[in-house]
Structure 1
Amino acid sequence: MLVFAAAHGAPASAAAQTAARVYGRADTLRGSYTTPGRNWWDATFYDLRVAVSPSDSTIRGSNAITYRVLRPGKELQIDLMVPLVVDSMVQDGRRLRFRRDGNAFFTRPVARHRVGDFRTITVYYHGRPQVARRPPWEGGFTWGTDSLGRPWVVTTDQGVGASIWWPNKDTQADEPDSQRVAITVPDSLQNVSNGRLRGRRQNADGTTTYEWFVVNPINNYAIAVAAGHYAHYSDTLQGEAGKLTLDFWPLDYHLDAAQRQFPQAKAMLQCFEGWFGPYPWYEDGYKLVEVSNNGMEHQSAVAYGNLFANGYRRRDASGTGLGLKWDFIIVHESAHEWFGNNITTKDLADMWVHESFANYAEGLYTECLFGKEDGARYTIGTRRGIRNDAPIVSAAYGVNAQGSGDMYPKGGNMLHTIRQLVGDDARWREILRGLNSTFRHQTVTGTQIRAYISEQAGIDLSKVFTQYLETTKVPALEFRIGDSALTYRWTDVVAGFDMPLPVTVGGRVYQLRPTARWQTLPLGPTAGSGDLAPDPD
């Protein structure tokens, strides 16, 4: 259990809260999905066409945005970040007037709009996109070179937003039902993007256009460019939903290294299908694509940059040695195909749904390889990375803000603790699989995920979620043993917190149900004043 046991009188631990940030209009335009420019239309298809020029670090292209009218609306908001420039917007052959407000553009469609109608606006744009300062965490374009000095161009934009390089409705709450990604690059390069390659066209100006197509819903930040000197090989996996194609795209001189390292993907996919249900994108396939950063969960084109080595760049976050027995990026980023891509949160503030489950998946994969005890040992080992610097979920919804990085180790350990509370591994597996079937290809709120787990577990877990997600408090079991009795209570907890806790006293296991009030449990005359040990899980 993710708790702290303290003898009576010991101070309860607490972490300092970080100062609240002040948000403004630009944050609301970026982060809210209920503003007047967004709430009346639903993006159904993006037809993205972009020419990428490594020689001068510029791009030029268009996105034809097809949308469905949900309710009457006047202005439509389309996002594109400075310094990129919108050249024109066109609907039904007519140019639209538009105005810019920072990174948001507003236009009034000329076509008649009735509820249920489908309409298309094409946005033409160009410019020199922002360069990624610290990819993948601070995203944008990376105009790099490989070790032979040849151009290697990749994009990353989770968090900052896809509008850092292409115009769209930049909110996680609205995913197109499908998308074309047509990227034009110099003839010497190959571009790998999401979905399946539908066509390759050589142009008269020394460039080649690669047309990729995604037939499933996809979040904006998953769309990616990876242009370099790639080798390619393929495989298949007979999975739960049939034959799944596996495609691997390392740089040409890393082909041998990839063929040694990437077979781990098969074992990972088999493990996660067992725990989470069928891979969500059979129609679009599974790809691993080498990139120049650590990696990212680009849907159906998982970005990989982990040195073709086990661990996280040869390090083990758990300190147990178990994390050095498998490739962290293959496992963690692919787990996002279920939690992050299949199930996507509407608001960045609920990113724990993506990252806590992906962190927890690392322990499940360890369990698949080495057994339940080692899986738990790995997960518990990652607790050393918990900082308790700020809550995982803050009150800042609708402003494109997320909480503490504790959403990884603390969130993963919260899920591990909930598994112990459920106390039935078959039911726990059903809950994880049920999440991915119930919310398949959907955008969700964190509240929906919390409620589903509680309902399916048959346990009110609301206070457990509040404790671990919304505060930095570490539950402390305050106790004393004497006079053949154990007296105990929870401290440093939210109101109503009553998480049960198995403890061992004098070699005997007791099931406690502590609250914030003192309770007394008779131990019998043989218990003495022995030590109390909580369940380590």
Structure 2
Amino acid sequence: MKKLLLSFGAFLFVLISNAQIVGTNHSVYTEADTLRGSLRPERSSFDVLKYHLKLKVEPEKKFISGSNTIRFSVSEDLPVMQLDLFANMEIDSIVHKGKPLSYNRKHNAVFIDFEEALKKGAQDSLQFFYHGNPIVAKNAPWDGGFVWTKDLDGNPWIGVAVQGTGASLWYPNKDHQSDEPEETIIEVAVPNGLMNVSNGRFLGKKNLNDGFTQWSWKVVNPINNYNLMINIGNYTHFSDKYEDLDLDYYVLPYNLEKAKAQFEEVKEMMACFYEKMGPYPFEEDGFKLVETPYLGMEHQSAVAYGNEYKMGYLGNDISGTGIGLKWDFIIIHESGHEWYGNSITSKDIADMWIHEGFTSYTEAIYIECRWGKKEALEYLKGLRKNIGNRKNIIGEYGVNVEGSGDMYHKGANLLNMIRSIYDDDDLWWNTLRDYTKTYRHQTITTADTEAFFNKATPIDLAPVFDQYLRNPGLPTLQLRQGDDQILYRWKADVIGFNMPVDVIIDEEEIRLNPGTEWQSYKTGEELDELKVNELEFYINTEILK
């Protein structure tokens, strides 16, 4: 039975790997894909400075209405602006300087015409009024949309998860990861007796005297569109601190005591991540866990938690090693995204391995802090059974498409292997902390990441990144027995591939530096006595006769 449970847990995570990020998943791209995924002048000529969302949520009707006031700076003359709102949501009006603007809709894009082109260097704003019944998620967070449900006491309990599907599913915005507002205010009116919890700091609540109460929140750091969030329920609140960081928790009342015990792990996590990755990147906005009616998501400063107060992944171990049952997967993984995905964000979702590979690696970081490096390496090796090696980790650029779900576990094993190539743990941790600090609150590309980790070592990592990110298969270390020697070389997709690899011969670890031409290592040992250090290197091996 235990084996069945472990397999089921792995199966669940494979579902996440392939479906949590739900951009297009096909090879023929449509106009809608291009409008969503590309940066044309209607998008690239302005930068969002601030969103001010003001909404009313009516649970019984599954209906939302309100506005988003968007402040922006103009980087090039702007006659037409593209914003995004799903086609099923109705536009009431778009107002600029007190006057309604004309617009036209194409797929989920909204093209707004200004009477006179806005001039380069200007700062301006518009108000976008809308309403509708947003898409309902069939199985959040694996598909995007609203979750309208009730808690065990019969109270409305509402959540939203839209990563990949798009934040424009429920509010108008520039729905591209390359542009984040510097500041956001979220004001949400909900039926009296309920609470809305959003990102950032709580500003206060106001009884609107119409059966609704408005809850206001403010974010003072850059934030991804898909991270802006509403969580509505009959929540109870408790708090804690880690050093100077405020820890706030919003849970259903009947889970309060379980939450108080389970969330103690947050302080252990913060101690580890502060040491290995650097300080929490959004201290001004605080850190929250919010109980949600779906498994979890990395909503910045308001992390969604739905792991049912169980260790592992809903009580299962996705690595099959038993190590994953020592900690709460959703707390660690989704909070790890605060550093990788929320603070450091990929400009294009084709590069989402920057989010998921690094965050999956934070699971191993946490294990190493608590239980040692050997268990962290065993956990990472255990994750490999979930890797398909059939599609590239990096997706197609400009069409709103991510790469394969291998970005999670293959990405984590790639980072572990780079650490092994460094062969210097002090250098590794210093480089990781420096990367986290250098790109704090920035949107970046895979090329930025490659260059940063390559610069720290004299070993050329370019062919390694190329093989693991841009080709589906693993490199193969080919071995052949010679007279008093072992012959070795790489077989790989990348022309001229070279990468050091550590092998064990007669209980001694030796570093080989294979290329694509045969090289030799003199030894009296038989070939079958050679073992690759599989805990640190994720490769194939082939013995040739």
Q: Normalising by the residue count of structure 1, what TM-score does the alignment of the two structures yield?
A: 0.93
Quick one: structure 1 residues 517 and 129, their matched pair in 2 at CA, closer, same or farther if it must change by over 3 Å?
A: same
Distance 2:216 2:509 in 1: 62
Preserved contact between residue 77 and residue 117 of structure 2 (Cα < 8 Å): no
Q: Deviations over 1:234-264 (max 9, x none)?
A: 01111xxxx1100001111110110110010
Match of 2:408 in 1: 408
Corresponding letter in the other structure for 1:174: D
- Contact 2:36–2:175, Cα closer than 8 Å, also in 1: yes
* Residue 148 (1) aligns with residue 149 (2): no
Q: 1:194 is matched with which residue?
A: 199
The answer as to whether partners of 2:79 and 2:117 remain within 8 angstroms in 1 is no
Contact 1:480 1:487 in 2 (8 A): yes
Q: Is the 8 A contact 1:297 1:333 kept in 2?
A: yes
Q: Which is helix-richer, 1 or 2?
A: 2
1:473 aligned partner, one-letter code: G
User: What is residue 12 of structure 1 aligned with on the other side?
Assistant: none
- 1:373: which partner in 2? 374
**Which of the residues 66, 90, 100 maps onto 1:95?**
100
The Cα shift of 1:509 comes to: 3.1
Aligned-partner residue type, residue 284 of structure 2: E
2:74–2:123 CA contact under 8 A, matched in 1: yes
Task: Report the 3-state secondary structure (helix = DSSP H, G, I; strand = E; otherwise coil) of the residue aligned with 1:361.
Answer: helix
Distance 2:393 2:50 in 1: 33
Q: Name the SS for the 2:300 alignment partner.
A: coil
State the Cα distance separating 1:390 from its structure 2 match: 1.0
Tell me what 1:466 maps to.
Answer: 466
- Between the aligned partners of 1:23 and 1:393, the Cα distance in structure 2 is 16
In the aligned structure 2, how far is the partner of 1:189 from the partner of 1:20?
41
The correspondence of residues 282-301 of structure 1 with structure 2, limited to 5 A, is 282-301=283-302
Q: Does the CA contact (< 8 Å) of 2:79 and 2:116 recur in 1?
A: no
How many positions carry a matched residue from both structures? 511
1:354 maps to 2:360: no
Is the contact between residue 486 and residue 527 of structure 2 (CA under 8 Å) also seen in structure 1? Answer: no
Give, in angstroms, the shift of residue 528 of structure 1. 4.3
Tell me if the contact between 1:350 and 1:445 (Cα under 8 Å) persists in the aligned partners. Answer: yes
Consecutive unaligned residues of structure 2, counting only runs of 5 or more, are 1-24, 537-545
Structure 1 range deviating more: 123-132 or 506-515 = 506-515
Query: Are the aligned partners of 1:230 and 1:251 in contact in 2 as well (CA < 8 Å)?
Result: yes
Q: Label 1:529 to 1:169 Cα distance change in 2 as closer, same or farther (>3 A).
A: closer
Q: How does 1:306-385 map to 2 (within 5 A)?
A: 306-385=307-386
Q: 357-366 or 471-480, which moves further after superposition?
A: 471-480
Amino acid in structure 2 at the alignment position of 1:430: N
User: Which is further off, 452-461 or 468-477?
Assistant: 452-461
Q: Matches of residues 45-444 of structure 1 in structure 2 within 5 Å? A: 45-110=50-115, 113-238=118-243, 243-394=244-395, 396-444=396-444
Partner of 1:482: 482
C-alpha distance in structure 2 between counterparts of 1:505 and 1:273, whole Å: 38
Deviations 1:149-176 (A, max 9, x none): 2211111100011000000000000000
Choose which of 45, 48, 70 in structure 2 pairs with 1:43.
Answer: 48
In structure 2, distance between residues paired with 1:142 and 1:509: 53
Shift of 1:188: 1.9
TM-score, scaled to structure 2 = 0.92
Question: SS in structure 2 opposite 1:38?
Answer: helix
Give the partner amino acid of 1:202. N
Match among 28, 33, 57 for residue 22 of structure 1: 28
Is contact 2:78–2:120 with CA below 8 Å preserved after alignment? no
Question: Are the structure 2 counterparts of residues 451 and 254 from structure 1 closer, same or farther at C-alpha, using a change threshold of 3 Å?
Answer: same
- Provide the residue aligned with 2:525 in structure 1: 527
C-alpha distance in 2 between matches for 1:404 and 1:86: 35
Mapped partners of 1:333, 1:156: distance in 2: 13
With over 3 angstroms needed to count, the CA separation of the structure-2 counterparts of 1:315 and 1:209, relative to structure 1, is: same
- Shift of the 80–128 alpha-carbon distance from structure 1 to 2, 3 Å rule, reads same
| Contact 2:435–2:452, Cα closer than 8 Å, also in 1 | yes
Question: Structure 1: which amino acid aligns with 2:531?
Answer: A
Deviation at 1:529, TM superposition (A): 4.8
Once residues 388 and 534 of structure 1 are traced to their aligned partners in structure 2, the CA distance between those partners, rounded to angstroms, is: 20
Change over 3 Å in CA distance of 1:127–1:456 after alignment to 2: same
Query: Residue 288 of structure 2 aligns to which amino acid in structure 1?
Result: K
Contact 1:190 1:230 in 2 (8 A): yes
Structure 1 residue 111, shift from structure 2 partner = 6.1
8 A Cα contact 1:66 1:120, kept in partner = yes
The CA deviation string for residues 461-501 of structure 1, in whole angstroms up to 9 with x for no partner, is 11111111111111111111231011111113411211111
Contact kept? 2:78, 2:117, Cα under 8 Å? no
The aligned counterpart of 2:16 is: none
Alpha-carbon distance in 2 for matches of 1:496, 1:451: 19
> Alignment RMSD, CA only?
1.2
Contact 1:80 1:167 in 2 (8 A): yes
- Cα 1:529–1:219 change in 2 (3 A) is closer
Deviates more, 1:370-379 or 1:254-263: 370-379
Shift of 1:110: 3.6
Q: Which moved more, 1:406-415 or 1:484-493?
A: 484-493
User: Is the CA contact 2:78–2:119 (under 8 Å) kept in the aligned structure 1?
Assistant: no
In structure 2, distance between residues paired with 1:188 and 1:110: 45
Match of 1:15 in 2: none
SS of the residue 1:71 aligns to: coil
